Amino acid sequence: MTRIFIDSDACPVKDEVYRVAGRYGLHVFVVSNRMIAVPDTPLIERIVVDAGPDVADDWIAERTKEKDVVITADIPLAARCVEKGAYVLEPKGRLLDRDAIGMALAMRNLMTDLRSAGMITPGSAAFGRADRSRFLSELDTLVVKVRKPSIRLVPPPM
């Protein structure tokens, strides 16, 4: 069964995830290194991990399975989850799948190299109402797609 993992520190779309998960009866793991308020429902589980770099990311990546959905803006975490067959959706609504993750990693690495060389790089645009709406639409569409049973075409015997 599909589950949703939220890399929740600074995630602006938790409420939208809760709504979609409630609509489809999906279990949600809200993972952070500090206490975060979550709705009181058995479908939503708060996971508080130790403080430290990548501890929440490691928790998510170790437990993510094929057809799970991960909500994160962290590109290295996204790559780890996509490698396991999960779907990753950024808070602004961009799907990071097997086709998109390579370019996202390359761009992240390029920007990191430029910043470490002293270049001033542009930040991303502020999160807005259109981003929230796009995320909600993409998440709903993704959940419907993931939950649809796969049809395997078996060739007729020869």
Q: Residue ranges per domain, the chain?
A: 3-147
> Which pTM value belongs to this model?
0.82
Summarize pLDDT for 52-102 with one digit per residue, the tens: 888 999 999 999 999 999 999 898 999 999 999 999 999 999 998 777 676
Summarize pLDDT for 113-144 with one digit per residue, the tens: 556 777 675 667 788 899 999 999 999 999 99
Q: Are 71 and 11 in contact (CB under 8 A)?
A: yes
| Three-class secondary structure of residue 110 per DSSP | helix
Q: Are 127 and 12 in contact (CB under 8 A)?
A: yes
Burial label for 140, CB within 10 Å (0-12, 13-18, 19+), is middle
Q: Are 30 and 38 in contact (CB under 8 A)?
A: yes
Q: What is the DSSP letter of 67?
A: T
How many whole angstroms from its chain centre is CA 10?
A: 13
Per-residue model confidence (pLDDT) at position 12 = 95
CATH of 3-147, one of 1.10.10, 3.40.50, 1.20.120, 2.60.40: 3.40.50
